[in-house]
A and B are shown apart, each in its own frame.
Chain A
Amino acid sequence: MSGGFHIVVCGSLVPDPLQTLEPIDGPNGPALKNEMMLPAVLDPWAGHALFEAAELAKNVPGSKVWLVSLGPKAKLQQLMMSIAQKVSFELVAIDGSAGGFTDPFDVAAILADAIVKIDGLDRSRLLLFGGCASASRDSGVTMQMVAERLDIFDQFLAVDKLTMSSDGSMEILERIEAGRYQVSSCDGAPAMLGWATGSLPEPPNNPQVGMMNMRTVMPALQKAQTAQIGVGGLSYAAVELPKQRRETRVVKDTPAEVVAQEIVDWLKA
């Protein structure tokens, strides 16, 4: 592809999956207890999208990667300390809630608006990347609505593999039912790819990459616009933790054949 791709990755932060989460009633709808204090990580599927973007940019000369993140500025800054060392990108930060209870319709509008304003972005070469779903709202709708707003009508969801041809056309593998892949070919950019796990391991930290990125990350955070984002058109009647706790029967010091018989009986019941 002459001139390379302009790859915009949408991704923000989510609470570290190993944290215990508790919903509370906030002033503007549901929120998480101690939300600002919870350790955060890059939303996992968006993270895979970022790593795939960086790899693609490395292989196609002239390409460039932007990471567009809507999240609380202070937390985005913390997050950058870890991910900026992994791959090269230019940050576009928008200061606002990254919580799961916000309205994805409004989130999509904010992200699309930020993308349109990116200086020097060539939308004819645009590959819009994101996760196939977030680990917060987990609805898998935001990227399609961002793409619609950018007039991108070739869209793929739950992508594990993207193969580029020298003429800019692409082959895409999307997860479909029963562990299979749908294979599609697309004429080329512009397109939207919502990534699943992809096929790359998490890149190791590279302090040099970190230093390079930080030169643009800090100014990006400083000039981050504030977005008014909340529950929007949603009204929540309740948000609850599942209450159910099971009475676990513990079976020990029992011969394997007895355990096996019990399991087989249960399976056949």
Chain B
Amino acid sequence: MDKILLLAHTLDDGTLPKGAYESLNAALKLAADLGGAAVTVGLLGGDVQSAADSIAACGAASILVVSGEDFATSRYSSDTVAVEALVKEAAPTLVLAPTSSRFSRCLPGAAYRCDGRIETHITGIKVVDGTVQVQRWYYRQRMVATLSRAQRPWFLVIDSGVFEPWQGAAGTADVKALDIAVDDSCRRTRVVGVQTPDSDAQTIRPDAKLLFVAGAGWTKKQADGQLHIKKAEGLILDFINNSKASLGSSKSLVDQSSEGEVISFMSHLNQVGQTGSTPRHPKGLATCCHGEEPHTVGWRFISERRAITLDPNCGWAQGKADVLYVADAFEVIAKANELLAK
């Protein structure tokens, strides 16, 4: 009989990230599909009691926790020790966890230590004739595979937005704390802080309804034969602030940032596409882009898509976007900003 361990870590404020609730839901659903497998929750963080309380009603067989100062920060050496201990205690066949920077760093090594195997960026899980099959994308979102493995424990790291978050009343959770000792060899690395971009540069908003993708066209000569980069900056910034959008960029546009005259608040972190990110948002609007990357790969996980480009023959938007506006993005976004500001 399968046993499922759902792993989650807290954020700095002691809460669980949204992905943790989504993965919890995935774990409960999988347990039901497997004919009633037991689900254990394993929590990791500085102080995890309130996080445990928030899922007290989820029906888990038990909630195991590893907490304390050594586990407050996201660090490979201590996180792998914690996960290894949780897996030993729960003895699961399947380990589910949400994708996060913390888990992406530590779970592969932890799976190795548990003599397990790991698949990441899971976008679907189903049970076919008693076999667990998962779905994930290959070649940077160009093709999708359905696969399984026999080796256990099998770690499945689930992308955000794939499952609905679990919802239920908070309560008082009965947790079992594992007493894990971390020695100095785990403290060779110290997390010293977090760098947050300046407030006007904080343009990446994973929970935004809209992904606004800016392409290199914003920095090209316009109808009057001139560059209008400052104007482009103002229009883009106003638009994402007015619409509370997250800002994505094509590679061409961010590559210019190393070359001089550019959109100042744009960096490689904004890049979408094969060598950038493929964020998940309900809507996407591409502007001044021409290419497969921003139109196909970059918005693979965008549900409703629209594009603005001057090029009526932009073959990349055709068949990929729901609506293609052949129009001047400078004019359209200026008008849209007026409307949004009202």
Contact = CB atoms under 8 A, between A and B. Distances in A.
A160 B113 CA distance: 27
B226 interface: no
Nearest to A158: B101
B333 to A, nearest CB: 8
A105 B292 CA distance: 32
Nearest to A200: B258
B77 A154 contact: yes
Interface residues of B, number: 99
A96 interface: no
A252 B138 CA distance: 36
Most buried by A among B146, B188, B194, B305: B188
B76 A18 contact: no
A148 B109 contact: yes
B101 A182 contact: yes
A237 interface: yes
Contact of B332 (A105, A182, A248, A256): A256
A252 to B, nearest CB: 4
A242 B340 CA distance: 35
Contacts of A143: 108
B100 interface: yes
A254 B327 contact: yes
Interface in A138-166: 138-145, 147-149, 153-158, 160
Contacts of B258: 201
A252 B327 contact: yes
A239 B268 CA distance: 30
A242 B144 contact: yes
A183 B326 contact: no
Contacts of A30: 145
Given A141-B118, A256-B332, A259-B325, A21 B101 contact: no
A179 B197 contact: yes
A184 B190 contact: yes
Contacts of A100: 138-139
A263 B332 contact: yes
A101 B193 CA distance: 37
B289 to A, nearest CB: 14
A143 B108 CA distance: 9
A157 B105 contact: yes
Contacts of A249: 322-324
Contacts of B325: 251-252, 254, 259, 263
A138 B138 contact: yes
A81 B319 CA distance: 37
Contacts of A145: 108-109, 112
B80 A252 contact: no
Interface string B305-342: 11010001000011111111111100111111011100
B108 to A, nearest CB: 4
Interface in B33-70: none
B322 A138 contact: no
Contacts of A256: 327-328, 331-332, 334-335
Given A158-B101, A182-B194, A186-B188, A261 B108 contact: no
A28 to B, nearest CB: 14
Interface stretch (B23-31, B147-155, B171-179): B147-155
A250 B326 contact: yes
A112 B281 CA distance: 38
Contacts, number: 255
A37 interface: no
B117 A233 contact: yes
B1 interface: no
A77 interface: no
Given A179-B197, A185-B192, A237-B148, A23 B143 contact: yes
Contacts of B105: 144, 155-157, 174
A30 B144 CA distance: 11
B195 A136 contact: no
Contacts of B275: 17, 44-45, 135, 197
B117 A144 contact: no
B256 to A, nearest CB: 11
B317 to A, nearest CB: 7
B189 interface: yes
B74 A235 contact: no
Given A242-B143, A246-B319, A260-B335, A185 B189 contact: yes
A17 B319 contact: no
B323 A251 contact: yes
Interface in B192-217: 192-197, 202-206, 209-210
A167 interface: no
Contact of B101 (A105, A177, A248): A177
A173 interface: yes
Given A17-B140, A144-B112, A153-B185, A235 B149 contact: yes
A210 interface: no
Contacts of A45: 275
Contacts of B269: 175, 179
For the complex of A and B, list the 7 residue pairs with the smallest distance between their C-beta atoms, beginning with the closest.
A179-B204, A260-B335, A141-B108, A256-B331, A144-B108, A252-B326, A155-B76
29 contacts: A101-B138, A135-B139, A135-B140, A138-B137, A141-B107, A144-B76, A145-B112, A154-B77, A155-B105, A158-B101, A171-B192, A173-B195, A177-B101, A178-B204, A178-B206, A180-B194, A182-B193, A184-B191, A235-B149, A239-B144, A248-B317, A250-B326, A252-B325, A253-B326, A254-B325, A256-B335, A259-B308, A260-B334, A260-B335
